[in-house]
Structure 1
Amino acid sequence: MDVSIIIVNYRSWKSLRVCLNSIAEMVTQKLTFEVIIVDNFSDDGEFEIFKNEYQNFIFIKNETNTGFSNGCNLGAQNAKGNYLHFLNADTNISLEALNTLYETYKAHSEIGILSCLQIDKKNRFFNQKKLFPSVFQLFGIARFFYRKLFSKKLNKKFNTQDDLFYPDWVTGTSIFISRDWFEKVNGWNEDYWLYFEDVDICKRISQKKGKIAVTRNATIFHEHGGASRINFKTECITKTEVIISNHAYISNHFNGFNRNISHCFLLIGILTEKIILSSLSLFLFSNLKLKTNRYILKNLCFYYFSAIKKQTWLSPRSINYPKVK
């Protein structure tokens, strides 16, 4: 088997159907591939319907929602391919794009992870000029000034001429990786329940001298937020997890003073922001975005209390959280 396409799903059935239909249309004799869908306990009755409808694909039901990383690892454990293509459920891929990823990866032995261009429903390309987080880039305004200050260096790094460019990391929307590299870094880090797991795996591959690359010769459609914004409660949870996973990443990849100061900056900055926005929401009742901040603030207060009590920055939803004494 050449490629195993692995898709983790959580109640994003409408988007998943579009994705699976795009894959089902692929007909090729040159490339052998399988499709594995790991459902993270959607528990809504749709799993069996899809399993019966797409009988040529492999469906795996996770007994709990143990997060994106765990779902990806579960899919990889059941995969037969020499290469693994982790793909979001809210994407649409063509045979040409898959072939390009496969051939490009094989032609460049220096690449650890390969991704491609992404376009949304308004035909806008996603920004893929990604840099690893640092103490100077924890907040949007800091990232803005950093990019302005080092604009020449960054423009050289993200040139617009070559077929390949090399960001620090790529999103988990589309990650093409060999089984050898996947096993070399022990797969996805299950410290993360949602978000930053893509940054983390790219970081670990970079530390082992593998390159992170994006090919301009392949493009996939990405709806974005198909699973993380299905309702108000889910949106509040996922936005909280972005912040929590940022702390987990800092804990895993920052050292000494930088680690401590980054945790402090992030904690103080986020709480200050959420307190201000939550206060505004008391006066602007109709603004749903402001209301979201009240729930995120409540979630974060529980999280920071738990972090102090348990002495860990991991999310309580992380599969590794119970292992922490």
Structure 2
Amino acid sequence: MIPFTYTRASNAAEAIRLAGVRDVKYIGGGTNLVDLLRETIERPAALVDVTGLSSTIERRGNGGLLIGAAVRNTALAEHREVRTRYPVLARAVLAGASGQIRNMATVGGNILQRTRCAYFYDTDGSRCNKRFPGQGCDAIDGFNRTHAILGASSSCVATHPSDMCVALAALDAVVHLEGAAGARTVPLTDLHRLPGDHPEVETVLEPGELITAVELPALPAATRSTYRKVRDRASYAFALVSVAAALEVDNGRVKDVRLALGGVAHKPWRARRAETALKGGPATGHTFRAAAEAELAAAKPLRDNGFKIELASRAMTAVLSELAGVDA
């Protein structure tokens, strides 16, 4: 491991000040960053501990929830209002990791975790444009069963690993940021970038910018929501495909629907084509299947992961049918 200094910031302003004077990484629970340090993928000169940021979950005046960046994943999943008003989020967090990891991991860190692509972690023998831009991507012609089918590029086919972020994408969550230029908000769906020609640039955060909170809007459809994760084993594997869905049905027709997919793209994938196809239409297994197929029409599978198209389509249909109480 390469030497670095460590400082604990007592608030966001101190953390931003420390990040502005040297090559710094913010650290929360460290459940991903410590692994990256061990593998020398991340090589910061300094770590700034931001676990002193807000760890509260508060109801907003508009009826939404404001979740502090330092809230532990366990606390998020167990929070009464999250479980009752946004069950999709609680279920996604519980599907994401073991209890030990959830007890350490923070909301801000979960959002910024990096891909688990094996070629990204293989620093000894694999080419990876995320680690060294312009080097190439060995996953494209390698073992790519777990890789992206949507939004990928010739530079990178890695997927985003977070379960929590898939639920946040479906819920129209907004991320609160602070940096040297001041405070701003970014929709979660716009925070992560598709790879394009620069997969090493994974988010729209500016250097030294810090996640301080995540805001959930008041969303009636979210009370009837769920998360389904399809994986190779039941015990805390990363998703082959996952679906976060919220559905509001009125007189047999779709009044509102929110859909996002995990395990299929470089970022949490908001399924807007499917949502558009469903809104106002009948809530039936047939229409759910047609909407899923419309969303996946743009999929571009690799040699080993073409099965994800049918898997994602079936998972979306099954989840929506379950929420609507109809046959898939």
Same fold (TM over 0.5): no
Comparing both chains, which one has the higher relative contact order based on Cα–Cα distances under 8 Å and sequence gaps of 6 or more? 1
Decide which structure has greater helix share: 1
